Amino acid sequence: MKVMIIGGVAGGASCAARLRRLDETAEILLVERGPFVSFANCGLPYHTSGIIAREQDLLVANEAYFKANLNIDARTRCEAIAIDRKAKTVDLRHLETGEVTTESYDKLVLSPGAPSVAPPIPGIDLPGIFQMRTVPDARAVREWIEKGSLFLTGMSKYSGFQTARPKTRAVVVGGGFIGLEMAENLVHRGFDVTVIELRDQVLAPMDREMAEIVERHLNHHGVSVVLGDAVTAFTPREDGAIEVATRSGTEFPADIVILALGVRPDTALARSAGLEIGKLGGIRVNDHMQTSDPEIFAVGDAIEVRDTVTGAWSLVALAGPANRQGRIAADVIAGRDSRYRGTQGTSIIGLFDGAAAWTGASEKALQNAGRQDYEKVYLYPNSNAGYYPGAKPIAMKVLFSRTDGRLLGAQAVGMKGVDKRISTLAMAIQMGATVYDLEEAELCYAPQFGSAKDAVNFAGMVAADVLRGDMPISHWGDPSEAILLDVREPAELRVESVAGAVNIPLRQLRERITELPRDRDIHVICRSGQRAYYATRILLQNGYRAHTMSGGMLARYHRGVLDS
């Protein structure tokens, strides 16, 4: 059996290695149009700042490794240009020589990835404008930055002249993973960074109000975030920099520009071979990773996957799913019945020692899928025991089914312990856990690591309190005629208060309860929602129509969590 794999990074390389383990005799040909197979593309932004010091560190395995250890014929700078499905051949162009050869296959695996979007903006090819998808991209950025620094070093040595201004202004176009990671790494290199994002939020998979916390955190670290604006042109400036013009009419001078506008499945080869393409523009596969031609498989960023929560087709460019898809394709080629379960979309991004992470469906994804049976809670538990030094709050949004309590999605932003909570909740979603299961979860607790009631338990308790009717909730911005009752202490209200809210501190509520009307809805506010819940319990049991304002003041503007 001869298996050809087109694309040698995450999905393709995993498929090749797995297939060899399952089948010693298969002839495996791995072709990659770039100069490297199996490189760590998630590390690229961190190489530009030097956090990952050596380019070598990004290279997981090379052609020699594939040959020696796996008996796999891996070829770089080799581009597949056409598939003949009847003849079961692929035309390969060797980019060094231009030579085209034809190779046959019994099974073909497409792992072409998803290149960055590069719209036809005038000036997009100017020097100093970079993408960040490949090792050469990272090398180019690094060299560009270091050339600038060298020049500055030179200046300070031989100075006297008022020459060029230092190269210190960066514009990042796009506020997704790569854009924000590049923003951080450019700050580490001393740049003033502006991120320009077309949408009204960064990190599109998050809900907007959670992304706001991220935006404030970026601001806190000196990154300007411009939302709802689009770049219309790049023009060279007299001082050697680039003028970045936007739709809103603002102009941003930049010594370096990173284009991180998102990615789009590379389907050129699949389309020209007549393989089915999904509505979102990705290659359509079944759960065996087979395309519409059962002899041709596709894996990785180029395919559409089923969202495990909503069941909707989606495009998800993540390394973990790509690797699993590669393994499954190999299994199926080797005659096994492995099936891909869909993609949950679990993701994390580091943000200046903090992190934002999510798993499962966002609220907007649920809305897009037409789900109306969900509820949400906001909470701000500590990363670990509050009495142990260094505990930090985590801003969490948890989505669950009102019908059966099933966990649907979770988002978290914080300085510490974010990855643990989202990984734990990701496992919970995978296993079909309900919020009642989260209440009972038995997680690691010592004061350095968690709390006796872990953030995950706390999420379950709050959500379950809602579902059991113990804590009717309301949300900021919901239309309402309700009375607002603030149960914080007067000293807290002096810092920030809500116009028109009645203030009765929790500890006085029992004795002053008759000051409140029984015939109106009362929305109870405190800092994070905990005291409001206690007050809600008192009110409900005394015949009042109380609701807890989920997340309290912290959820009002979604700020002050990371950077307080």
Where in 9-68 is the site for its own copies (CB under 8 A)? 10, 20-25, 40, 42-43, 46, 51-53, 57-58, 60, 68
DSSP secondary structure string, 130-152? Answer: E--SSHHHHHHHHHHHHHHHHHH
Catalytic residue among 15, 42, 78, 526: 42
Of 30-38, 233-241, 316-324, 393-401, the segment contacting its own copies by CB under 8 A is 316-324
DSSP secondary structure string, 270-319? Answer: HHHTT--B-TTSSB---TT-B-SSTTEEE-GGGB-EEBTTT--EE----H
Q: How remote is the C-alpha of 99 from its chain's centroid?
A: 40
* Cα–Cα distance, 153 to 264 (Å, whole number): 40
- C-alpha distance across the termini of the chain, in Å: 61
Which one of residues 62, 149, 224, 430 is an interface residue with its own copies (CB under 8 A)?
Answer: 430
In the window 353-392, what residues touch its own copies (CB under 8 A)?
Answer: 355, 357, 359, 385, 387-389
Size of the site for its own copies (CB under 8 A): 84
Of 75-83, 129-137, 238-246, 336-344, the segment contacting its own copies by CB under 8 A is 336-344
In the window 220-259, what residues touch its own copies (CB under 8 A)?
Answer: none
Residue with Cβ nearer its own copies (76 or 457): 457
Write b or e for each residue in 470-486: b if 16 or more Cβ atoms lie within 10 A of its Cβ, otherwise e.
ebbbbbbeeeeebbbbb
Report whether 121 contacts 231 (CB < 8 A): yes
Residue with Cβ nearer its own copies (128 or 262): 262
Of 120-128, 232-240, 276-284, 343-351, the segment contacting its own copies by CB under 8 A is 343-351
Token reading at 486: 């603030």
Length of the chain in residues, anyone?
Answer: 564
Q: How far is the CB of 236 from its own copies (least distance, A)?
A: 35
- 28's CB contacts (< 8 A; 6+ apart) are 3, 5, 16, 19, 20, 70, 71, 72, 73
Residue with Cβ nearer its own copies (26 or 242): 26
Q: How far is the CB of 428 from its own copies (least distance, A)?
A: 5
Q: How remote is the C-alpha of 157 from its chain's centroid?
A: 43
For residues 77 to 116, the per-residue mask of contacts with its own copies, x marking binding by CB under 8 A and - elsewhere, is: ----------------------------------------
For position 119 contacting its own copies by CB under 8 A, the verdict is no
For position 324 contacting its own copies by CB under 8 A, the verdict is yes
Q: How far is the CB of 17 from its own copies (least distance, A)?
A: 9
**Counting runs of H as helices and runs of E as strands, what totals does the chain give?**
16, 28
In the window 129-188, what residues touch its own copies (CB under 8 A)?
Answer: none
Question: What does residue 59 show for φ and ψ, rounded to 5 degrees?
Answer: -95, 105
Residue with Cβ nearer its own copies (258 or 487): 487
Q: How far is the CB of 19 from its own copies (least distance, A)?
A: 11
For position 69 contacting its own copies by CB under 8 A, the verdict is yes
Q: Which amino acid is at 17?
A: A
Q: How far is the CB of 430 from its own copies (least distance, A)?
A: 6
Which one of residues 85, 506, 560, 563 is an interface residue with its own copies (CB under 8 A)?
Answer: 506
* Cα–Cα distance, 253 to 192 (Å, whole number): 11
For residues 448 to 477, the per-residue mask of contacts with its own copies, x marking binding by CB under 8 A and - elsewhere, is: xxx-xxx-xx------------x-------
Of 113-121, 245-253, 260-268, 444-452, the segment contacting its own copies by CB under 8 A is 444-452
* Cα–Cα distance, 212 to 538 (Å, whole number): 33
- 483's CB contacts (< 8 A; 6+ apart) are 502, 516, 517, 520, 521, 522, 523
For position 441 contacting its own copies by CB under 8 A, the verdict is yes
Q: How far is the CB of 137 from its own copies (least distance, A)?
A: 16
Residue with Cβ nearer its own copies (158 or 387): 387
Q: Which amino acid is at 97?
A: T
For position 512 contacting its own copies by CB under 8 A, the verdict is no
Longest CA–CA span in the chain (Å) reads 88
Q: How far is the CB of 8 from its own copies (least distance, A)?
A: 15
**Active site (annotated) includes residue 42:** yes
CA dist list (Å): 325 to 42, 84, 500: 18, 24, 55
DSSP code for 358: E
For position 312 contacting its own copies by CB under 8 A, the verdict is no
For position 537 contacting its own copies by CB under 8 A, the verdict is yes
Closest Cα to residue 435, out of 457, 418, 452? Answer: 457
For position 1 contacting its own copies by CB under 8 A, the verdict is no
Of 109-117, 213-221, 340-348, 370-378, the segment contacting its own copies by CB under 8 A is 340-348
Q: How far is the CB of 216 from its own copies (least distance, A)?
A: 20
Residue with Cβ nearer its own copies (233 or 385): 385
Token reading at 453: 């009631």
* Cα–Cα distance, 492 to 494 (Å, whole number): 5
Q: How far is the CB of 336 from its own copies (least distance, A)?
A: 9
Report whether 346 contacts 423 (CB < 8 A): yes
For position 320 contacting its own copies by CB under 8 A, the verdict is yes
Q: How far is the CB of 546 from its own copies (least distance, A)?
A: 12
Report whether 413 contacts 447 (CB < 8 A): no
Token reading at 125: 């090819």
What residues act catalytically? 42
